Amino acid sequence: MEKKIFGRMKSHSEPGPGDAGKTGSWRVLRPVIDLKKCIPAKSGKNACFLCWLYCPDGVVTRTIPPEINYEYCKGCEICAEECPADAITMVEEAEFIEMED
Amino acid sequence: MHVIESGNVAAATGVKLARARVIAAYPITPQTPLTEKLSELVDSNDMDAEYIPVESEHSALAVCIAASSAGSRAFTATSANGLLYMNEQIHWAAGARLPIVMCIANRGIGAPWTVWNDHQDSISQRDTGWIQLYACDHQQIIDTVIQAYYIAETVSIPVMVCYDGYLLSHTYMPFDVPDASDVDKFLPPFQPAYALDPDNPANLNTVTLPELRPDVRGNTAPAYMEIRHCLHDDMRRAIDVVQKADAEYQKIIGRGGTPLLEPYRCDDADSIAVCLGSLSFQLRDVIDTLRDEGLKIGVLGVRLYRPFPDEAIVSALSGANVVTVFEKALSYGYQGPLFSDIKSALYGQQRTPVIQNYILGLGGREIKTSDLLSALRTTGADSLELSDTPGWIGLKLQEIEDDR
Amino acid sequence: MTVKTTTLNLPEEELVHPGNRACSGCGLSLIYRIGLKALGNNTILVVPPSCLTVLQGLYPIASTRLPCLNVTFASTAAAATGVLGALRAQKNDQTIVAAWAGDGGTSDIGIQSLSGACERGENLIFICYDNEAYMNTGVQRSGTTPQGVITTTTPIKGKLQAKKDVPAIIAAHGLNYVATASASYPLDLFDKITKAKTIPGPKYLHVHTPCPAGWGFEPRYSIKIGRLAVETGLFDLYEIENSVHRLTGASEKLLKKKLKPVTDYLNTQSRFRALSKDRIEEIQKQVDAKWNGYRSSLS
């Protein structure tokens, strides 16, 4: 049976990031972690990581210190809201564009 | 091995020989004994398959779609309203390019309720992208079910095997059951190009945009229209595969020879009757009688209805002066679908016969040989112009009393 | 429940790629991300049309690192049945089949196939993410939309009917495991799915899913609002095993605490704006009665 010449085109998607493009472009405000307040950062120990836990998009790493993937962070602010140490502030994206210039 | 059994059991035996592994079915008259036979075969370990007694026909085809996507040979069967209940799944299975085989025990559709035979159910699905084959007797039922898997798995298109409810499903006829080892030679195990696999993840049939997009590797992938065009294109090429399946089957099992159309006394015919299903066998008696009266007439049974074998039809019919298309279905508001398809195929040919359409047998109305004889004696004798209005055979308006 | 998972021992591997089409702050995004960690790599997912379809990606890019089968709206549990049938035919009893459906695909259009699968005892995990309306098509009312809520099909007076108690309906099929969970308690969700994997037969999880766009609040409060639903006693975290109903986690702790007033929750979302003072008092009375019932059945 000649299998390969039939059914060559199907809706068959392979896994990969960025189906919606670089969703970092959705942001108006960017979360910035103050490492002096961040619990794992200042203690050097594995602790807290609630920003990693609650991030809906999984763009925070569970590392010391936690790092945010700004290419895909949608700026939902949940990390800032949930951080028990108030270590995350939301900063205008505009400020970072100026810096990159 | 020769047996005398019902059409439904012939179908079930074909499914068993084809080694379907996942069966889902919901009972509906006149298919019910088919599902009962399959559950008996599975329950008694005569068949190694999962039998899933689903709660609706929509779910029956959902189970088959999923099982086929996961790499197992799947089967279901239904009739009439059951077929319509699973209608969105019919379209889905074709678009998903799944080699599911389904038997349809043809029955008329409500409203109003009817349980008796006509072809409206399967005919109403002719646009869905399923391959449709019509069986004329029990031998053809069992042989076609087996060939259906060969065809389906070669072209990745689901196949409907249709046979007349009650007239075939419930009557008893002798037929030959092929040897399992011969069927295994003809039909190897199902080997899909892709089956759902955690080691090789993919997302099947998600939202597909109107325009082309790059895939994860950066290559331009097809969009909805290209994917659907592929189904159509593969369906057209499936005509050759249907013939190849028949040739292979004939080589190994010893039966076949009429994969697309089944002509009877058509070679020198001036007038040819055309129809789907067991009516073509009933018409053979009519043809014999008319031949004895001196009419050069034959009957052409259409086995493959979709994809429409237009070239074969033109070849078989353009030599005739008169073609009479008998149909147990109607495209309401216009004419019989088979009639429309045949006319369309003959359009633009150098020689075009006069074609007449008759609607008959709806909701199981008995088709009398005497009515068929009159129709075929008069058609062509009177009308030498094309008539687009279908005639009706067996309609009893004049017998109805009161002022309806 | 045996081992409780913490933020420190929750598996690190992400089975969902970023850059997907879920809304900013989407409750489903979090549930899906955490839920897949619990289900693990040897899983096949079945998904009807829903927000998750969009999250999982448009052809040809998939955001999920697991095989996903898209199916028609009414057929989720039947399709999951089909995958299980194929796995059995292939003698594979290791791969898990998990169906993820919204409230519509579970309890409205999807309820027939779900009921059938439960009655047949299919070995599937069915996760309903309940964002309390048909969100993917733009916030139309569903069977699980709470009473009084403004949606696009209940735009002025709010929904007249009460929220359908889906876990109770499913539990009535005699399942070995029915549980509720919430996006705001992801570790509890993780543990419940992990537990479900060890139990035979159909398992049903009903997960409360805050939706910023559909409920009318700022995305940053997704977790907080889901938490308030539990803390006000409106959404309860529980398990039903062998017909025994038992509050769990934060809800269990509430048995010994005072509930926050329902207004703490209702005032945070614009979808409740049509609720009259009388209606809110009625809701408070219903919640209090329910919790008095819980407390008295303990003593």
List the CATH number of the domain containing B267: 3.40.50.920
* pLDDT for res B403: 75
Give the whole-angstrom CA distance, residue C275 versus residue C253: 29
Within B79-125, strands assigned E span 101-106
- Per the structure, the complete domain to which residue C235 belongs is given by 27-298
- Tally of CB atoms within 10 A around B199: 7
* pLDDT for res C151: 96
CB contact under 8 A, C53 and B206: yes
* Answer CATH for A24-100 from 3.90.105.10, 3.40.50.720, 3.30.70.20, 3.30.1360.80: 3.30.70.20
Q: Summarize the confidence of residues C182-194 as an average pLDDT.
A: 98
- Per the structure, the complete domain to which residue B322 belongs is given by 261-399
Is residue C153 over pLDDT 70? yes
Q: What are phi and psi of B173, to 5 degrees?
A: -140, 155
* pLDDT for res B2: 97
Query: Distance, in angstroms, between C269 CA and closest chain B CA?
Result: 31
Within B53-190, strands assigned E span 74-78, 101-106, 131-134, 159-164, 172-176
Identify which of C105, C57, C51 has the alpha carbon closest to the alpha carbon of residue B202.
Answer: C57
DSSP B8-64: HHHHHHHHHHTT--EEE----TTTHHHHHHHHHHHHTTSS--EEE--SSHHHHHHHH
Please state whether beta strands B159-164 and B101-106 pair in parallel, antiparallel, or not at all (unpaired).
parallel
For residue B25, being part of any structural domain is answered with: yes
- Number of residues that make up chain B: 404
CB contact under 8 A, A11 and B202: no
For residue C228, being part of any structural domain is answered with: yes
Identify which of C177, C169, C152, C295 has the alpha carbon closest to the alpha carbon of residue C233.
Answer: C295
For residue B141, being part of any structural domain is answered with: yes
For residue B252, being part of any structural domain is answered with: no
Tell me, yes or no, whether B269 and B177 share the same domain: no
Probe site for chain B from C42, C61, C69, C91 (most B CB atoms < 10 A): C69
Task: Report the C-alpha dihedral over residues C29, C34, C40, C44, rounded to 10 degrees.
Answer: -30
Please state whether beta strands B354-360 and B391-393 pair in parallel, antiparallel, or not at all (unpaired).
parallel
Taking only the tens place, the pLDDT of each residue in C106-144 is: 999 999 999 999 999 999 999 999 999 999 999 999 999
Angle between helix C27-39 and C186-196 (nearest 10): 40
Assembly ipTM: 0.95
Taking only the tens place, the pLDDT of each residue in B84-114 is: 999 999 999 999 999 999 999 999 999 999 9
User: A22 to chain C: which residues are within 8 Å by CB?
Assistant: 19
Those residues with Cβ within 8 angstroms of residue B181's Cβ, 6 or more apart along the chain or in another chain: none
* pLDDT for res B402: 79
Is C16 strand, coil or helix?
strand
User: B53 to chain C: which residues are within 8 Å by CB?
Assistant: 120
Tell me, yes or no, whether B328 and B181 share the same domain: no
Q: Give the start-to-end residue ranges of the domains of chain A.
A: 24-100
Nearest to A15 among C21, C33, C62 (CB): C62
The answer to whether B59 touches C78, Cβ cutoff 8 Å, is yes
Least confident of B126-140, B372-386, C202-216, C256-270: B372-386
The answer to whether B60 touches B86, Cβ cutoff 8 Å, is yes
For residue B300, being part of any structural domain is answered with: yes
Partners of C240 in beta bridges: C178, C245
Please state whether beta strands B131-134 and B159-164 pair in parallel, antiparallel, or not at all (unpaired).
parallel
Identify which of C56, C50, C60, C45 has the alpha carbon closest to the alpha carbon of residue C16.
Answer: C56
Nearest 5°: the CA angle C72, C57, C218 is 105
Give the whole-angstrom CA distance, residue B161 versus residue B331: 21
Tell me, yes or no, whether B60 and B175 share the same domain: yes
Structure tokens that stand for C17 in this block: 């790629």
The answer to whether B105 touches B115, Cβ cutoff 8 Å, is no
Among residues B152, B186, B220, the one where a domain terminates is B186
For residue B197, being part of any structural domain is answered with: no
Nearest to A56 among C7, C19, C29 (CB): C29
* pLDDT for res C182: 98
* Residue B200 in contact with partner chain A when CB distance is under 8 A: no
List the CATH number of the domain containing B132: 3.40.50.970
For residue C7, being part of any structural domain is answered with: no
CA-CA-CA-CA torsion sign (C63, C68, C72, C74)? negative
Q: Summarize the confidence of residues B183-190 as an average pLDDT.
A: 98
Tell me, yes or no, whether B151 and B265 share the same domain: no
CB-facing half-sphere around the CA of C56: CA atoms within 13 A: 33
List the CATH number of the domain containing C251: 3.40.50.970
CB contact under 8 A, B202 and A14: yes
Is residue B386 over pLDDT 80? no
A4 pLDDT band, cuts 50/70/90, is low
Chains that touch A (3 or more CB pairs under 8 A): B, C
A3 pLDDT band, cuts 50/70/90, is very low
Q: For chains B and C, what is the number of CB pairs under 8 angstroms? A: 167
- Tally of domains within chain C: 1
The answer to whether C140 touches C216, Cβ cutoff 8 Å, is no
Taking only the tens place, the pLDDT of each residue in C215-272 is: 999 999 999 999 999 999 999 999 999 889 999 999 999 999 999 999 999 999 999 9
For residue B215, being part of any structural domain is answered with: no
The answer to whether B338 touches B305, Cβ cutoff 8 Å, is yes
For residue B282, being part of any structural domain is answered with: yes
Burial level of B332, CB count in 10 A (0-12/13-18/19+)?
A: exposed
Query: Distance, in angstroms, between C27 CA and closest chain B CA?
Result: 21
Structure tokens that stand for C9 in this block: 């021992």
Among residues B155, B170, B186, the one where a domain terminates is B186
* Residue B230 in contact with partner chain A when CB distance is under 8 A: yes
* pLDDT for res B90: 98
Nearest to C219 among A21, A49, A78 (CB): A78
Among residues B140, B165, B186, the one where a domain terminates is B186
Tell me, yes or no, whether B178 and B275 share the same domain: no
Give the whole-angstrom CA distance, residue C35 versus residue C30: 8
Taking only the tens place, the pLDDT of each residue in A22-64 is: 999 999 999 999 999 999 999 999 999 999 999 999 999 999 9
| Average confidence score pLDDT of chain B | 96
- Tally of domains within chain B: 2
Nearest 5°: the CA angle B358, B364, B369 is 55
